[in-house]
Amino acid sequence: MQTRRENNSILAKLEFSFIEKFLPHIPPAVTPDHLTYLGLGGACLTALAFVGCLISAAFLPIAIVGLFLNWFGDSFDGNLARYRSKERPRYGFMIDHSVDLLSTTLILIGLGASPYLPFNSACFALIIYLLFCGFVYIKVCSDGVHMLAFGGLGATEFRLLVAAWAFFIHVFRFEDAINTTFIEWPALRGIAIVDLVVGIACCVAFLSFGVVVFRQTAKLRDSDITHLHAAASAKVVELPLRKISA
């Protein structure tokens, strides 16, 4: 599947510069598939380590290592294939994005099961992620443009936010605070404050998603209309000649 990649994330230029310099040093025996599975393994490690944080915070550094492995595998697999001119467009697109879905789901569910984020909040974030992923795939099919970031945030920024959030909660010992609920407000009693904040943020993201969809569909509509008019103008209409009797 030939697509045009569009990455407007905050760290895109810095990240690509690093990847470009590191690619020649990857051993020939390492294949893009190896890196893809390394990324998935990193996500599994992250999820398990976050759950392990329920027992001891000593698992937190392991979760950070898992996030790094997930970033390394996910960021280098496709770039390595392009660098070696060994791209397999349809296979690569299928396995890369399937693994991305699995990896992000594992990371968010693991974070939600940890002491660092309520499970409801993790599920809210996962729903928004899957929603934007669905749009990305639809956009690839409709106009061949593969968007890798929204609002300056891509997969790399997501991993950094997860790591920073967990580290922040642990360092300042906010594990109990994130589960604090509203007590004085009867309408919100039993709802964790963090869940409410994350829920509001997800609602804003949902509205932003609607705006993005509206703008993209408007562009495609105008493009289709332009093509139709151009095709109609270029079409030569041949009228049948009438036989003239003497």
Q: How many CB atoms lie within 10 A of CB 68?
A: 15
Distance CA 50, CA 105 (A): 13
Q: How many CB atoms lie within 10 A of CB 48?
A: 16
Residue 238 lies in a domain: no
The single residue listed with the structure tokens 């660098």 is 83
Residue 243 lies in a domain: no
Residue 152 lies in a domain: yes
Reported pTM: 0.89
Domain count, the chain: 1
Structure tokens at 127: 């729903």
Which is more confidently placed, 243 or 159?
Answer: 159
Q: What is the pLDDT of residues 95-135, one digit of tens each?
A: 999 999 999 999 999 999 999 999 999 999 999 999 999 99
> pLDDT at position 183, please?
67
Query: In this structure, are residues 85 and 96 in contact, taking their beta carbons and an 8 Å threshold?
Result: no
Q: In sequence order, what are the residues at sequence separation of 6 or more whose Cβ sits closer than 8 angstroms to the Cβ of residue 15?
A: 9, 75, 156
pLDDT of 162 over the 80 cut: yes
> pLDDT at position 66, please?
98
DSSP 8-class letter at 56: -
Residue 187 lies in a domain: yes
Q: What is the pLDDT of residues 16-39, one digit of tens each?
A: 999 999 999 999 999 999 999 999
CATH of the domain at 63: 1.20.120.1760
The amino acid present at 44, given as its one-letter code, is: C
Residue 240 lies in a domain: no
Query: In this structure, are residues 81 and 92 in contact, taking their beta carbons and an 8 Å threshold?
Result: yes
Signed CA dihedral, 219, 221, 224, 229: sign only: negative
The amino acid present at 183, given as its one-letter code, is: I
* Parent domain of 124: 4-228
> pLDDT at position 246, please?
46
Which is more confidently placed, 56 or 4?
Answer: 56
What is the number of alpha carbons within 13 Å of residue 234 lying toward its C-beta? 6
Residue 245 lies in a domain: no
Q: How many CB atoms lie within 10 A of CB 9?
A: 19
Which is more confidently placed, 50 or 239?
Answer: 50
pLDDT of 238 over the 80 cut: no
Residue 108 lies in a domain: yes
Band of residue 52 on the pLDDT scale cut at 50, 70, 90:
very high
Residue 120 lies in a domain: yes
- Segment holding 244, helix H or strand E: none
Band of residue 187 on the pLDDT scale cut at 50, 70, 90:
low
